[in-house]
Each structure stands twice: as C-alpha cells, then as structure tokens.
Structure 1
Amino acid sequence: MTADATSGPGALPMRVPAEGLPARVRIYEVGARDGLQNEKATVPTEVKAEFVRRLAGAGLSTVEATSFVHPKWVPQLADAEELFPMVRDLPVELPVLVPNERGLDRALALGARTVALFASATESFAKANLNRTVDESLAMFEPVAARAKGEGLRIRAYVSMVFGDPWEGPVPVGQAVQVCRALMDMGADELSLGDTIGVATAGHVAAVLTALKEAGVAVEATGVHFHDTYGQALANTLAALQHGVTTVDASAGGLGGCPYAKSATGNLATEDLVWMLQGLGIETGVDLGRLTATSVWMAEQLGRPSPSRTVRALSHQEQ
C-alpha cells in the first residue's frame, strides 16, 4: 500500500488506496438541473450557462444541463430552449431530462444527444410527480425511449424512491428492481438509483445492487444518486463502489433536493465526493480547487453559503 499527501492551504487528502474499489469513477454532475430546480428565485439564464461552463472547466465530463419539463411544473428551468444552445458545444456530455414525447421533441430540436427519463419505484411518488401509476408512467416512457433510440440518443433512466418513500415507507427491494428491469428492457443505457429522501444505509444499498445483478442488470450500467438527509450519502457511495459501481451522481456545492418530496434535502456534494475518492486513490479527472471555486461563485449568486463541508473547509466559508 502506498500513500502520499499534500500539505498547506487547499490541501488534498492523503491518498491511501483500498483494495476492491474501481480505479476510476465517472461523476455525473446534476447541480445545474437537479440542484437549481428547487431554487425559490429564478436564476438568470446566463448564470446557469456560466455554471455549466465552469463545471466543465473543472474537469467534470458529464454535466446535466437542464430539463424539458413543462414550465408550469418546474418554472426554474423554463429557459431550457434558451440555455441549451449556450452550452451545447462544450466538449462534455450534456444530458437533458425529458418527461414525455413533447419534451423529447424539444430536446431533439436543439441537438441534445443524451436524454434522461424520470421514473418512480413507488405508486405514491409516481402519482405526486407524474400524476400516473407506475405502470402508466412506464407505458408513457416506452415511445419516448423507442424514438430516442431510433435517433441514436443515449438514454439514462432515473428511478426515484428506490430505498424509501415519504408516504409508503421502506420500499421492497424486489419492487424497485422490477421497475429498473422494465426501464432497461425498453432501451435505457444506464440506470440511476435514487435515494430521493436519503434514508438508505450501506446494507440496503448492497442488497439492491445484488438483486439487480441477479436480475441481469449489469453493474456497469448502474449509477447511484444519494441524498444526505441522514448523513449517509458517502457511506452509501462507498458501499456502491465496493459492489462495482463506477458512476456516481453528485451536485456541486450540495445543491438540490426534490420539489415533490418535501423531506428530500440536498444531494451529495460533488466536492465531498471528490475528496473521498481522491483519498482512496480513485481517479475522477476533476480539479477540486476549480470545482470548489465554482461552488463558492454559485453560492454568491444564490446569496447563501454552500452546504458542502468540503467547500466550506477549503474556502473558509462561514455558515
């Protein structure tokens, strides 16, 4: 085992690689979409575009740019048509969320190459978020996925409430796996397992990943999306890495939650994730200094300190 460390201001963690972990992790940055959709005040389009540019400049290879959801439901992202052309030529993957065929039409018209669908593992959240049953929502996604595949697009499928639901409580593992399998069968290239209200623990994460593998879902096609409601996001991430997951969703500065689940607090902060991964000797391609500076800048735009502990530590922000 080898270890190295850097000292001084802005120090990086001591690198102590652990056995059984991937050599590299792809961070799927959701701050510009999932992070900003909850803001009470509308963030100016140019600020959003600059946020995406700075995230890309910090070395993040995947930055979810926006959502083509009807403005009535997510007014903070009503400027998708204006925003996407401002960033689409960046040399990174720029997925966009599409809720239905109309959303796909809008994304295709602007040249999007990766789209994300947003499903639910529970009936209660499907009703709250999509006003449909789980089966009805899956039926709605089938023609969207078919058209996207026909256009040569890459498809990501978010599955929310995989681990717990604010109305239904703990979610049976088999129930979550069934929805995941259905989405893969309709052509999704990648899953994102959402701990939407942050109730997962490491053992539960391991159980879901094991069940997915037994259901024929390749771990290479599986990503994780943890919220830090109970302070478990990094522990859950480590459990996922131990099971072979190499795609982890995170939000710069810890921005975001879920507008349809009031108990959902912020996403796992990208800086906190990068600090842990660097300490484990896992490559990400991300410049932590530039990423931290980006989140400090965004916090200034929003008028409040970043909730990320790593951002605060490295930038000496005060609560």
Structure 2
Amino acid sequence: MADIQIVEVAPRDGLQNERTLVSTADKAALVRRALDAGISRVEVTAFAHPERVPQMADAEAVMAEVRDDPRLRSIGLVLNRRGLDRAVAAGCHEATVVVVVSDGLAVRNQGADTAAQVAAWQAMADDARAAGLATTVILAAAFGCPFDGEVSIDRVLEVARGVLDGGPDELAIADTIGVGVPAQVRSIVAGLRTLDAGIPLRAHFHNTRNTGYANALAAVESGVTVLDASAGGIGGCPFAPGATGNIATEDLGYLLSRSGVETGVDLASIAATGTWISDLVGYPQAPAMLGRAGGFPG
C-alpha cells in the first residue's frame, strides 16, 4: 500500500460541535501541535455564520495566528461564496467546499438542496482557482443521511459528476454520521474511479458505530491517498445521536503504521495532543485509545 497523508481536522470538525468554547490562543496552539507532530495539512477553521457555528466565530483571528508558519498548509471549510471570500481574505492555502449528497441534510444544514449546492460550487470554482486556492469538494452524508436514510451509490455518483464538472483539485467522501461499512467504501471509491481515474481521493470517517477505522483501512486498500482524522477523536455530528466523534489521528496513525503504511506522524506527540485537547474541552478521558494504552512495541 502507498504512503498516506493525514489531514488534521481537530481545529475545525473536532471543535465545531463541542459545547465548551475554546480560545483563539488554544486553537492556534492545537494547530501548532499538529505541525510539531509532522502533519502539514490542517483544517484550521470553518468560515460559517458565527450564530450557527459559534465555535468558529474567530475564524479570521485563528488564521492570523498561524498562517505565517511555513510548515502549514492551511485549509478552510466553506459552505458558500461568502465563506470562500473570507477564506481567501484570511490567507488560506486551500478551501474545502461542502456539498451534501442527501437533500434532507443539505436543506437542514445549509438551507439549500443538493442541486443548489452543486451549482454554487460550480459558480465558485473558477474564482477559487483565480485566487490561488487549491480546492477540495467533500461529498457529505455519502454513506447515509439522518433524515433521508439510505443513500444509494447511484445518488453519490450523480452528485459527484456535477462536482467534477467544476474541476476540483481533490474529491472527498464523508461518512458524516458514522453509518458506513467497508463494503460501501469499496463500492463508492470504485464508482468514483469510473468517473475520473486520476482525481486524488480523500476520505472522512466518524466512529459513531465503531466502523471508522475499518472504513479507513478499506479506503486505503481501495486507493484513497488522504484521510481526515482528529487528535483525541474529539468532535461529532450534531445530527447523529450518540455520536462519538471523528476517527482519532493517533489511533489511525498506529493502525496504518502497523499495517506497513507510512504517514510521517509522530504518534506519541499527537497522542499527547489528543489528551490535551480532550481535557481542554471537558472530556473525562480522550475517546482515542493510543494515549491510554501506548504504542507497541513500547
């Protein structure tokens, strides 16, 4: 298997739905700790409406704290043109644009159905490129929707076709509510390859039903080269009852390393960060396991 790049998403997806508000200084420290552990691509923040996502209300301030670090390849999550403009002005290197595959979640999350979100992405694509931003489009709820239920692979591919027409630099699939299984991963990736054999693929998994790591390994075995993960395993989707968060960076790194796949991540360092950020947001113990059990061999 090829080497895998991990994108650290704790500063955005990890913190976004936590009840405890984290200071700008601590968010910047979280980004720097990820860089210290050898991770270069970091989803620093989301450019969303502060009333809807109060944890991300200081998006520009966080970017101002970290954007000059030469180690950082900064990613800003955007939902619309306003978000893209803010990401450009804040100095992000990349924008991840969200397109929700299911209309039920699309409307509740962004106030627009899937077709409108695809059209919005297509309208933004050229401007993002002109501004020098690399772009990823993430197909959210690609494995299931809390409102519409099952999401068929045909639906995923239909939406992906429209997204690919906009020419993203990378395409991502997200199991937003943590319902996916490896068979779905393999089918979706194979289907996407029939649409574009060369587009770099990224995957984002939640461990809500304890399948996130199995899905990550299936993605790697299917040819996905980039995986999202969150230090400590913090975060989760507000639409997923009992959500236990993203797959943990340290646990994913351990799984891949022991499977012969290199990530370049210092596992002891990122495990310490996972423990630190989990304590900061009020977890009695980090959801991640590596910080508890330690690596092997010791």
Quick check: TM above 0.5?
Answer: yes
Matched, 1:120 2:107: no
Q: Cα–Cα, structure 1 residues 221 and 169, in superposed 2: closer, same or farther, change >3 Å?
A: same
Equivalent residue, structure 2, for 1:106: 86
Distance 2:122 2:173 in 1: 19
Q: Does structure 2 retain, via aligned residues, the 8 Å contact 1:197–1:265? A: no
Match of 1:203 in 2: 183
**Residue correspondence of structure 1 range 136-155 to structure 2 within 5 A:** 136-155=116-135
Question: Displacement, 1:88?
Answer: 0.6
**Alignment match, 2:145:** 165
CA shift digits 1:100-133 (9 cap, x unpaired): 1211222212221211111111110111111111
Contact 2:177 2:239 in 1 (8 A): no
Runs of 5+ unmatched residues, structure 2: none
AA of the residue aligned to 2:184: H
How many angstroms apart in 1 are the aligned matches of 2:242 and 2:196?
Answer: 32
Q: Which residue, 269, 276, 279 being the options, matches 2:258?
A: 279
Paired residue for 1:259, among 228, 235, 238?
A: 238
TM-score with structure 2 length normalisation? 0.94
Identity level (%): 41
Q: Tell me by how many angstroms 1:217 deviates.
A: 4.7
Q: C-alpha offsets along residues 185-229 of structure 1, whole Å, 9 cap, x if unaligned?
A: 1121111101111111111111111111112253x5111111111
Distance (whole Å) between structure 2 residues aligned to residue 273 and residue 298 of structure 1: 17
Deviations 1:260-314 (A, max 9, x none): 4446431111111000111012111110011111111112212222101122212
Whether the aligned pair in 2 keeps the contact of 1:96 and 1:115 (CA below 8 Å) is yes
CA distance in 2, matches of 1:228, 1:180: 24
Say if 2:64 is the partner of 1:64: no
> Structure 1 CA distance, aligned partners of 2:23 and 2:140?
28
Give me the whole-angstrom Cα distance separating, in 2, the residues matched to 1:236 and 1:104. Answer: 30
| DSSP 3-state at the match of 1:249 | strand
Q: Tell me, in whole angstroms, the C-alpha distance in 2 between the residues paired with 1:265 and 1:196.
A: 12
Which position in structure 2 is the counterpart of 1:50? 29
Compare CA radii of gyration and give the structure with the larger one: 1
CA contact (8 A) 1:181 1:217 kept: no
Alpha-carbon separation, structure 2, partners of 1:67 and 1:59: 22
1:130 equivalenced with 2:110 (yes/no): yes
Please state whether the residue corresponding to 2:73 is helix, strand or coil.
Answer: coil
How many residues end up aligned between the 2 structures?
293
- Equivalent positions of 1:224-303 (< 5 A) are 224-262=203-241, 264-303=243-282
Cα distance between partner residues in 2 of 1:116 and 1:186: 13
Q: Once the two structures are superposed, what CA deviation does each residue of 1:139-186 show, in whole Å capped at 9, x if it has no partner? A: 222222221011121001111111111122221101011212221211
Query: Separation in 2 of the partners of 1:265 and 1:151?
Result: 37
The CA deviation at 1:84 is: 0.4
> Residue 173 of structure 1 contacts residue 207 of structure 1 at CA under 8 Å; is this kept in 2?
yes
Instruction: Please point out which of 43, 46, 59 is paired with 1:80.
Output: 59
- Scaled by the length of structure 1, the TM-score of the pair is 0.88
**SS at 1:259 equivalent:** coil
**SS of the residue aligned with 2:74?**
coil
Deviates more, 1:296-305 or 1:221-230: 296-305
1:192–1:225 Cα contact (<8 Å) kept: yes
Contact 1:196 1:264 in 2 (8 A): no
Matched residue type, 1:177: L
The SS at the match of 1:267 is: coil
Q: d(CA) in 2 for partners of 1:128 and 1:261?
A: 13
Q: Say which SS state the counterpart of residue 65 (structure 1) adopts.
A: strand
Contact 1:166 1:263 in 2 (8 A): no
Aligned residue for 2:122, secondary structure, equals helix
Contact 2:122 2:165 in 1 (8 A): no
Inter-partner Cα distance in structure 2 for 1:270 and 1:108: 27
Matched residue type, 2:5: R
